[in-house]
Amino acid sequence: MAWGWGIYEGMVVIGSLVLLGWAGLWFLNRRLYKEYEEKRALVQIIFSVVFAFSCNLLQLVLFEIIPVLSREARLINWKVDLFCLILLLVFMLPYYHCYLMLCNSGVRKERAGLGAIIFLLAFLYAFWRMGVHFPMPSPDKGFFTMPQLVSRIGVVGVTVMAVLSGFGAVNLPYSYLSLFIREIDESEIKALERQLMQSIETCVAKKKKIILSQMEMERIQGSDENLKGRSFFKRIVGTVVRSVQDDQKEQDIKILDAEVQALEDLSKQLFLEIYELRQAKEAAAYSRTWKGHMQNLLGYAGSVYCVYKMIKSLQSVVFKEAGSVDPVTMSITILLQFFDIGIDAALLSQYISLLFIGILITISVRGFLTNLMKFFFAVSRVGSGSSSNVVLFLSEIMGMYFLSSILLIRKSLRTEYRLIITDVLGGDIQFDFYHRWFDAIFVASAFLSLILLSAHYTSRQADKHPID
Amino acid sequence: MFRREREREFKEFNGGPPCGQVRVLVVGDSGVGKTSLVHLIVKGFSTACPPQTIGCTVGVKHTKYGSPGSSSSSLKGDAERDFFIELWDVSGHERYKDCRSLFYSQINGVIFVHDLSQRRTKTSLQQWASEIATTGTFSAPLSSGGPGGLPVPYIVIGNKADIAAKEGTRGSSGNLVDVARQWVEKQGLLPPSEELPLTESFPGSGSLIAAAKEARYDKEGLMKFFLDQETVFFR
């Protein structure tokens, strides 16, 4: 009986891992790689494995609330998952990333392997030293034990989370609110398009002129050979006249070349402007539909929430509060105060916890993946850098992000669900520190994005109404 | 003495018949090598790592029509005419899709480019064909419509044959999801994606198809293809 149960549990675990891995692969190849295709299967596999392990951690949190597997199975699952994830993040990924970079720049394989090992050792040392500045478990508890590594990973991950949340909290109302959407006239776009076509046609005409001049020069040089029979004096005079004309023609060609280059740059600029105007026009049209109005309302709600969150974070950073009552219990106690319904509070709290945590996890995963896409496209627009490097870097960030979200999500769980996280990660980790660190970085990031976005908005307004 | 020579040259330069022009679009997905192809045709040598095309860049090639050895001689009058072939290299990026349609004006022909080492780029040519057919204007359209209703002649060029050969399996990529999809299609569970039909419908294009099968760049064949299309326009 225990055997069958064990096999069943093992299959559930492995099945969910495989499913998550496939989802990660699908996301990578269908969403991220719209333009490029990754040739190395190993990079794709690494990304999907990190994705699978990270999402499995979040899945395990859900399994805590609705007990799907037995307690021992969950504990083993936690431990194995954490172990594999940390192994990947701290040891394997930096090594492989450096190895790939060295291989791409043409270094031989053995030397690349050696260089990558040296880089890995340096990385581990820097990783260890970083812990000096933050409250970490003391070194007599061992060097590379799980709590040590998790606490350091947590710092990086929490920083990334806070920066993204800060920016997202400000950006969401900015992009959703209809206040900031500007109206574009179709005639504006048409005028720019006409200008673009004109500059391209002029460019083409100039290129034709260059070709004709070059052909002319070649013809003249060709006919030079036919002049061997003429008199000495005529030949000298001929060469003087021809070299003057040649110089003149070369000058003309050079000037035309420069003009062509300038026209091509101009047409690039015009095209980018047309693209931006079309984007703005689409956004304006969308804001007039009912979906757009909903988005507007969401924007207002988002801005209220953002302000509230900023104040709360500032408060927690300045006053060093350590609130340990999770929001679910708080909301249930408030509810029960007002409505005496008589429903079993424990059952209710379990379902509400599930819903709340589920929504939190979904939003966080989806938000992270969207940001990943935006970052990837922004980097690819610059054009430089191979996509493998970006994907490996993003896998590292993703692993650290999801691991730290476990650290932070612990606060939103009820006390009985928190136990396993505290057990698995090691009781030495100062969880409160991470919350304060998150709040501090969140406030800083939100302020910075506020400044950035307002500068962006005012510069666009100035463009639209140029000061004569 | 000098003046007379200069005058003679001036007359020879400007006294010839005006040059005709042929406008050919070069389209395909991002990164397949359209800019490199245009560079190769225009300059005669290849360039390494051109920057990503934004908008449209035009390459111009000069050629003479009516040279001896041409397959058709239905052009009345002068023996030789100068032609400028304009190759409009349009950006293949997904996000510029709505802005591209202004480049599709007065088209005489289309070159579809795909990447032999990435199979997805070949299947998307069908969408390119319908995009051009719906939003473009054509000068001297043929009566019979091609794929997606495209009324002008077109050729399909497969690029990066050396990379595809190195990978071993022609037409597949390292993309694991695509590999899985191809396996499923082979088992018959999913319908195969549509591809652009390739026919030898234009006279004199046999050498091009032979060159394509052997994966070499047949410059003479390409030039002949362009020039043969001009007989269609001036009939």
Name the DSSP letter for residue B155. E
Judged by average pLDDT, the poorest of A51-55, A127-131, A277-281, A375-379 is A375-379
For B90-131, the pLDDT digits (tens) are 888 878 888 888 888 888 888 888 887 777 777 888 888 888
Max CA-CA distance within chain A?
A: 121
Q: SS3 letters for B51-112?
A: CCCCCEEEEEEEEEECCCCCCCCCCCCCCCEEEEEEEEEECCCHHHHHHHHHHCCCECEEEE
How many residues are listed for chain B in this entry?
235
**Count of alpha carbons within 13 angstroms of residue A342, beta-carbon side:** 0
Name every chain A residue with its beta carbon within 8 A of the beta carbon of B178: 29, 37
CA dihedral A189, A193, A196, A198 (to 10 degrees): -130
How many residues are listed for chain A in this entry?
468
What percent of chain A is helix, strand and coil (3-state, nearest 5)?
85, 0, 15
Q: For B30, which residue in chain A has the nearest alpha carbon?
A: A35
Q: Do B54 and A33 touch (CB under 8 A)?
A: no
Judged by average pLDDT, the poorest of A352-361, A412-421, B211-220 is B211-220
d(CA A90, CA B95): 37
Mutation choice for A interface testing from B3, B21, B60 by most A CBs within 10 A: B60
Classify B25 as helix, strand or coil.
strand
For A56-88, the pLDDT digits (tens) are 888 888 887 777 777 888 888 888 888 888 888
d(CA B178, CA A49): 18
Mutation choice for A interface testing from B41, B102, B124, B179 by most A CBs within 10 A: B102
The domains of chain B, with CATH numbers, are 21-63+80-230 (3.40.50.300)
- Give the C-alpha distances (Å, rounded to integers) separating A115 from A98, A120, A128, A458, B225: 8, 9, 20, 48, 53
Q: Do A275 and B95 touch (CB under 8 A)?
A: yes
* A285 Cα to chain B: minimum distance (Å): 15
Classify A317 as helix, strand or coil.
helix
ipTM reported for the complex, 2 dp: 0.72
Interface of B with A in 11-50 (CB under 8 A): 13, 19, 29-31
Q: Do A241 and B5 touch (CB under 8 A)?
A: yes
Using the predicted structure, report yes or no on whether residue B77 has a pLDDT greater than 60: no
Name every chain A residue with its beta carbon within 8 A of the beta carbon of B99: 271, 274-275, 278
More confident residue, A325 or B111: B111
For B187-213, the pLDDT digits (tens) are 766 655 555 555 544 444 455 555 555
How many beta-carbon pairs below 8 A join chains A and B? Answer: 88
For A444-468, the pLDDT digits (tens) are 988 898 898 888 888 877 765 544 4
d(CA A198, CA A204): 10
Interchain CB contact of B181 with A (< 8 Å): no
Using the predicted structure, report yes or no on whether residue A25 has a pLDDT greater than 80: yes
Q: What is the mean pLDDT of residues A89-110?
A: 83
Of B173, B170, B136, B117, the C-alpha closest to B27 is B136
Q: Do B55 and A271 touch (CB under 8 A)?
A: yes
Mutation choice for B interface testing from A29, A43, A194, A265 by most B CBs within 10 A: A29
Of A383, A405, A379, A382, the C-alpha closest to A392 is A379
Say what percent of chain A tops pLDDT 90. Answer: 3
Q: What is the pLDDT of residue A134?
A: 76
pLDDT band at B161 (very low <50, low <70, confident <90, very high): confident
d(CA B107, CA B132): 10
Classify A435 as helix, strand or coil.
helix
For A450, residues 6+ apart whose C-beta sits below 8 A from its C-beta are A170
Of A431, A116, A463, the C-alpha closest to A276 is A463
Task: Answer yes or no: are the C-beta atoms of A139 and A259 closer than 8 Å.
Answer: no
Q: For A24, which residue in chain B has the nearest alpha carbon?
A: B177
Prediction pTM value: 0.67
Q: What is the pLDDT of residue B5?
A: 44
For A221-238, the pLDDT digits (tens) are 777 666 555 667 777 776
Interchain CB contact of B55 with A (< 8 Å): yes
pLDDT band at B218 (very low <50, low <70, confident <90, very high): low
Interchain CB contact of B166 with A (< 8 Å): no
Q: Which residues of A touch B (CB under 8 A)?
A: 25-26, 29-30, 33-41, 44-45, 193, 196-197, 200, 203-204, 207-208, 211-212, 215-216, 220, 237-238, 241, 245, 264, 267-268, 270-272, 274-275, 278, 383
CA angle A39, A40, A43 (to 5 degrees): 125
Q: What is the pLDDT of residue B170?
A: 39
Judged by average pLDDT, the poorest of A8-17, B68-77, B225-234 is B68-77
Residue A430, both tokens = 């100062």
Judged by average pLDDT, the poorest of A72-76, B12-16, B30-34 is B12-16
d(CA A235, CA A254): 28
CB-count burial class (<10 Å; 0-12, 13-18, 19+) for A406: buried
More confident residue, A384 or A374: A374
Using the predicted structure, report yes or no on whether residue B230 has a pLDDT greater than 60: no
pLDDT band at A38 (very low <50, low <70, confident <90, very high): low
